[in-house]
Chain A
Amino acid sequence: MTKKAAFWIFLFGTLSSAALFLVLTWDMHRQVDVLSRADKLSDTVIAGKKSFEKHNCNDCHTILGFGGYYAPDLTRVVQRVGEDGVRYRIKHPELAFAASVRKMPQQHIPAAEIENLLAFFSWVGEIDNGDWPPQDSKKRLTRGEKRLVAMAGVSPGAAVFKSKGCMNCHALGGSGGSFGPALDTVGRTLSTEQIGQYIKEPKSVNPQALMPPQTDLTDRELEEVAKFLGNLK
């Protein structure tokens, strides 16, 4: 090969790749409004994004999978812990994570700013991004739910527990979240009825409860999960 031929390889390689890339960038701009629901990109959401950047949250937390890996990904955080869950953790990280081995700074963020952050996270949570992250995928949960119910010996209550977000805060058998207590032996301290009541309206059993009311369970699901937990002794 001559130096001249090498030069043409260089020129062709660079220009073809760059041309493809620029055309697709133009097309991305054409499609992104739909994919990201840009019509819902309100001033509150933008204020939330600014606040997220001002406090450098992104160097501990990933969002859409980018940033620091020191803390949970925030792409679907609203779906995972609920609006109240998000508010509470940002307002009082020193309490929310008091029992955790890893802490989040108390940055004294005003309530109005927390609402902006919440709006921002809610907006990000709706981006059509190929169903990432896998742990928060709705598709996977329903698949898992089906499998669990189909499996002999596993109670439907366990399936509800696994698929309705309880595991984000509670652990069973060593897996799950750490925001709430592990529930392996909850049946020793609470009856099935009390558990049912707790799930529906935590504050009615424990006025200081931090657990948000679990309102997206049907009556039957509530009954099954309470029965399942009540038997864990």
Chain B
Amino acid sequence: MEYRSQRIAHWYFRIALVLFVLQVMMGLWLAYNYTFTVPQEIVDVFPFATARAIHTNLLVLWMLLGFMGGTYYIVPEETGSEVYSPNLAWLQLIALVATGVIAIIGFLFGWTKGRPLLEIPPPLNYVVVIGALIFLFNIGMTMFKAKRWTVIQGVLLGGLVFLALLYLFGIPFYKNEVIDWYYWWWVIHLWVEGAWELVTGAIMAFVLLKLTGVERRVVEKWLYVEIGLFLFTGIAGTGHHYYWIGAPKYWLWIGGVFSALEPLPILLMVIDTMHHVKHRQTQIINPHTWTLAVGCAIFHFIGAGIWGFAHTLPQINYYTHGSQVTVSHGHLAFFGAYALLNLTVFYFAIPKLKGIEVYQPTRAKLGFWTMCSAMMLMGLTFGIAGVLQSYLERVLGMGYMTAQGHMRLWMGITLVLGVFFLAGVVVTVFDLLFMKPAVRRAE
């Protein structure tokens, strides 16, 4: 750690980690609902719908806190200056966490906007917007005052501004269900396949630059090409969600073609990560942080690239749309791309924030491999359930619940795997919160 104000990041990380554990616990309850019959009395007070809203909103909240913390960590080093106002950073953290807590308590009492993934109701939306504005102002002012521009900073700021702007499209009430979903995807798709990818690209570039000591010029060149391809394929690729909503038919072409190209920039990211690691100029200090960075790139490609491609063409999507196939992809992609990215940043920054040069990697490795194998297997079991559903319900025309009966076994296995996944998460989070320096071997 070189700058005092980087320390704020630590609290963003800590809170994000706690929320991560809660999110995954709620995921287990969802899988329980699929596997066993929950009695009517419980369904009446705590339905699946509420639990799902909590699971997904905690997910978004912890990841955004992670990104913001990461930004507060990176920007001082990139600009070579302290954060413009640490007090604003605190204020913003408190505002966002308070909003999240109120929103989740609200869900329990039925206070919701009722739009999947965007359940946070309007008055709280405005607090989120204010929090985001404070954040952008603080980061922007830090950069402007420092007057030392780098491509990494520019992409980071651009991605964050884009992210915040898109959020606005999810706030209004749309009378027409078709238009409603049209703009819902401006938030969901353009986030994960647009703005968040920019943030990811910038953060990964920063981490790789620091870890490998590869020349900045090279890292930044790759970054431009990657985000160019991400946005080229990702913006028009939004069309892969417009096939069956009542939008014009040309979306089948536009969405199909552009989104089929979306795996390319992700593949490029894998290649450039490997390339930088191979041509590193520095010595490996914490090998586990490297494992995380490479693991993130590869899992990102599997979950988003391969799994996304598998159901993105309209001929296939007609049968898999809105089935457990979607869930399989959602989990692998979110985990591979954004959970692992955040963990990479945490393992990169937290040792420095704690003044630990070399950390003890035993628990970290145990946690990482447990999470990755459990999630990969969960992706497969969700996927098998999804293929069964697509075939039985959509091709054979079986009733919804009859088809679900045949999928139940696989949802049950997912539940068991989920327990292992949670164990991996708990180990990782514990390790990050109470990190230990490596014990020196007797020389």
Give residues in A with beta carbon < 8 Å to B.
1-3, 6-7, 9-14, 16-18, 20-21, 24-25, 27-29, 31-32, 35-36, 38, 41, 46, 49-50, 52-60, 62-73, 94, 100-106, 123-124, 127-130, 132-135, 140, 144, 167-169, 171, 174-178
Cross-interface CB contact of B244 among A7, A94, A129, cutoff 8 Å: A129
Tell me if B43 counts as interface (CB < 8 A to partner A): yes
Check A36–B176 contact: CB distance below 8 A.
yes
- Which of B10-18, B400-408, B413-421 lies on the face that meets chain A? B400-408
Bound form: Cα–Cα A14–B175 in Å: 31
Additional 18 contacts, C-beta under 8 A, given A3-B217, A59-B48: A1-B225, A6-B221, A9-B229, A14-B235, A20-B235, A21-B236, A35-B248, A56-B53, A56-B112, A58-B114, A62-B322, A68-B52, A69-B322, A94-B44, A101-B401, A102-B401, A127-B245, A130-B244
Are A58 and B397 closer than 8 Å at their CB atoms? no
From B32-40, B70-78, B345-353, B373-381, the one touching the partner chain is B32-40
Q: Please give, as numbers and ranges, the residues of chain B lying within 8 Å of A65 by CB-CB distance.
A: 244-245, 321-322
Interface size on B, residues (CB 8 A): 83
Quick check: is B356 within 8 A (CB to CB) of the other chain? no
The answer to whether B48 and A31 touch across the interface, beta carbons within 8 angstroms, is no
Smallest Cβ distance from B157 to chain A, in angstroms? 15
> CA A106 – CA B248 in complex, angstroms?
38
Given A9-B225, A35-B178, A134 contacting B394 (CB threshold 8 A): yes
Chain A residue nearest in CB terms to B34? A70
Q: Quick check: is B430 within 8 A (CB to CB) of the other chain?
A: no
Interface segment, B93-101, B179-187, B358-366? B179-187
Minimum C-beta distance from B331 to chain A (A): 13
Question: Is B229 touching A13 in the complex (CB atoms < 8 A)?
Answer: yes
A38 touches B228 (CB 8 A): no
Residues B177 and A20 in contact, CB atoms below 8 Å apart: no
Contact between chains at B248 and A20 (CB < 8 Å): no
**Which residues of B approach A to under 8 Å, CB–CB?**
33-34, 37-40, 43-44, 47-50, 52-53, 110, 112-116, 119, 151, 173, 175-179, 181-182, 184, 217, 220-222, 224-225, 227-229, 231-236, 238-239, 242-252, 254, 258, 318-319, 321-324, 326-327, 392-402, 404-405, 408
Chain A residues in 8 Å Cβ range of B37: 101-103
Q: Is the CB of A56 within 8 A of B249?
A: no
Bound state CA distance, A123 and B180, in angstroms? 14
Pair A106/B394 contact, Cβ less than 8 Å: no
* A24 and B250 contacting across the interface, CB-CB below 8 Å: yes
User: When chains A and B are docked, how far (Å) is the Cα of A141 from the Cα of B178?
Assistant: 26
CB distance from B199 to the nearest CB of A (A): 15
Q: Are B228 and A10 in contact (CB under 8 A)?
A: yes
CA distance A10 to B323 in the complex (A): 35
* A27:B177 contact, CB within 8 angstroms: no
In the complex formed, the residue of B with least CB distance to A177 is B399
Q: Is the CB of B114 within 8 A of A66?
A: no
Most chain A CB inside 10 Å of its own CB: which residue of B243, B258, B398: B398
Q: CA separation between A196 and B151, bound complex, in Å?
A: 75
Q: Are B43 and A57 in contact (CB under 8 A)?
A: no
- Evaluate contact between B401 and A70: CB separation under 8 angstroms: no
Chain B nearest Cβ from A103, distance in angstroms? 4
In order of increasing CB-CB distance, the 4 nearest A-B pairs are: A53-B114, A65-B322, A13-B232, A10-B228
Chain B: minimal CB distance from A129 (Å):
4
Complex: A147 Cα to B227 Cα, angstroms: 51
- Which residue of A17, A94, A100 is within 8 Å of B236 (Cβ)? A17
**Are A178 and B402 in contact, with the CB atoms below 8 A?**
yes
Residue in A54, A134, A176 whose beta carbon sits within 8 Å of that of B319 in the complex: A134
Which chain A residues lie closer than 8 Å to B43 at the CB level? 103-105
Give A57 to B320 CA distance when docked, in angstroms: 21
With a cutoff of 8 Å between Cβ atoms, the chain B residues found around residue A46 in the complex are 175
Among candidates A12, A14, A132, A178, residue contacting B401 with C-beta atoms closer than 8 Å? A178
- Cα distance A56–B47 in the bound complex, in angstroms: 10
Which residues of A lie under 8 Å from residue B245 when comparing CB positions? Answer: 64-65, 127, 129
Given A6-B228, A32-B176, residue A73 in contact with residue B322 (CB < 8 A) = yes
- In the bound complex, residues from chain B placing their C-beta under 8 Å from that of A100 are 401
Measured between beta carbons, the chain A residues less than 8 angstroms from B246 are 32, 35-36, 64, 127-129
Residues in chain A near residue B39, CB distance under 8 A = 103
Q: Do A38 and B397 form a contact, CB below 8 Å, given A13-B231, A17-B235?
A: no
Q: Could you tell me the distance between the alpha carbons of A103 and B229 in the complex, rounded to whole angstroms?
A: 45
- Give me 9 A-to-B residue pairs in the complex whose CB atoms sit less than 8 angstroms apart, sorted by A's number: A9-B225, A27-B248, A32-B182, A64-B181, A68-B52, A102-B37, A105-B43, A134-B319, A175-B399
Chain B residue with Cβ nearest A38: B176
With CB as the reference atom, state the residue of chain A lying closest to B404: A102
| Residue from the set A17, A32, A71, A178 with the largest chain B CB neighbour count within 10 Å | A17
Tell me which residues across on chain B come within 8 A of A20, comparing CB atoms.
Answer: 235-236, 254
Contact of B44 among A59, A105, A168 (CB under 8 A): A105
Task: Give the distance to chain B from A116, nearest Cβ to Cβ, in Å.
Answer: 13
Residue pair B115, A58 in contact (C-beta under 8 Å): yes
Minimum CB distance partner of A20 in chain B: B236
- Bound together, the chains give a CA A54 to CA B115 distance in angstroms of 9
Distance of A124 Cα from B322 Cα, bound (Å): 16
Judge whether A176 and B398 touch: CB under 8 Å.
yes
Min CB distance A24 to B, Å, is: 7
If A35-B248, A68-B48 touch, whether A52 touches B326 (CB-CB below 8 Å) is: no
The CA of A134 and the CA of B395, in the complex, are separated in Å by: 7
B175:A69 contact, CB within 8 angstroms: no
